[in-house]
A = this chain, B = another copy of it.
């Protein structure tokens, strides 16, 4: 079973049974394949007699998106499992535990999180997660600080950069986030109702300049090991627990890209409240919860990142007076820009979000799309002037006034 081939359910069970210290040797094991089959096989293996369960995630050598299939390296399974293990070493409570990574099979055996829900789904259902801002702020602070030149020996960091060179997955981001949405590309999926607003995006030179600058940062700025795809569909959540999953896009990039992914997806849900909230009062209230979560996330992140810097910085020059403030302000500015870029691509790009697309009231959906585009483009154009997280919240609030 060591040469690569997609596992059958029987093989997945057989593999799981041979793992040490997980299941009883003689137990009956049950497998359910719960992946969407587009990128990975995901087997949920459980032992009914004890209630124990694990996940086997196996990369497939191709990706299927909207019917098309293209080859995709199995090396992303290594990148994902190594990123998970680094994240686990830094925030053990915030990622699934990796039991085993099996390179020949592109297979990762990890903790089952079936008791959690995908955060995007939870938000669509109107749930609130009061611990999330603290959890994700800490996740961002620790994973970004300790993989950067600030918190990691600079020579070790370079070896990490090498291990996380991730051309194929980065190309998806470069095209779908930083290129296609700004031109009439066949990869776009333009909702007919907002054709006018999308046309304005395609014709906005000031916007394109900022996107080009953000794209350059994505291409060249090896600041920290990013998750690389940190939207609310990559977060498993409960009232008490937050688990960040699926870091197959991990690579060394600009820190603001991860923070912006979180904010963008909270703001897409903010826009989608046009359709989800029952009335104006509850809409205002849920939106205030979402912007409050953004504020708390940034503030928790910033406080913890500065604390780590002061207590555990490894670079003498990084203790230069004024440098930390300069760095945090640049990081905030990047966060504004990447938040905007991650929003715009979800309105009329190839891959969109259920927050907006599962709205059944067409008028509400259109309003949500226009709000998301407006917030996204405003953040992108404003990014290099940003000086406070409150400005991001003001921009969002203003778009729904």
Name the residue on B nearest A208 (C-beta). Answer: B320
Q: Give the copy number.
A: 2
Contact B317 A179 (CB under 8 A): yes
Contact B168 A155 (CB under 8 A): yes
Q: Which of A51-59, A121-129, A321-329, A371-379 contacts B (4 or more CB under 8 A)?
A: A321-329
Contact B179 A167 (CB under 8 A): no
Q: Which of A37-45, A136-144, A212-220, A347-355 contacts B (4 or more CB under 8 A)?
A: A212-220
> Which residue of B167, B183, B326 contacts A209 across the interface (Cβ within 8 Å)?
B326
Name the residue on B nearest A321 (C-beta). Answer: B205
Q: Which of A95-103, A170-178, A186-194, A268-276 contacts B (4 or more CB under 8 A)?
A: A170-178
A174 CA / B159 CA spacing, docked (Å): 16
Query: What residues on B are CB-neighbors of A317 within 8 Å?
Result: 178-179, 182, 208, 211-212, 215
Is A8 interfacial (CB-CB < 8 Å)? no
Contact B183 A171 (CB under 8 A): no
Interface flags, A304-342, vs B, CB<8A=1, else 0: 000000000000111011110011000000000000000
Given A320-B209, A323-B209, A326-B209, residue A154 in contact with residue B178 (CB < 8 A): no
Interface of A is mostly: helix
A231 CA / B318 CA spacing, docked (Å): 27
A174 CA / B158 CA spacing, docked (Å): 13
Q: Please give the number of chain A residues whose Cβ is less than 8 angstroms from any Cβ of chain B in the complex.
A: 41
Contact A220 B222 (CB under 8 A): yes
Is A165 interfacial (CB-CB < 8 Å)? yes
Query: What residues on B are CB-neighbors of A155 within 8 Å?
Result: 167-168, 170-171
Contact B154 A219 (CB under 8 A): yes
Contact A323 B212 (CB under 8 A): yes
Contact B149 A316 (CB under 8 A): no
8 A-B interface contacts by CB (under 8 A): A149-B219, A154-B171, A155-B168, A155-B170, A159-B165, A208-B323, A209-B320, A209-B326
Closest 3 pairs (CB-CB, A-B): A155-B167, A212-B320, A212-B323
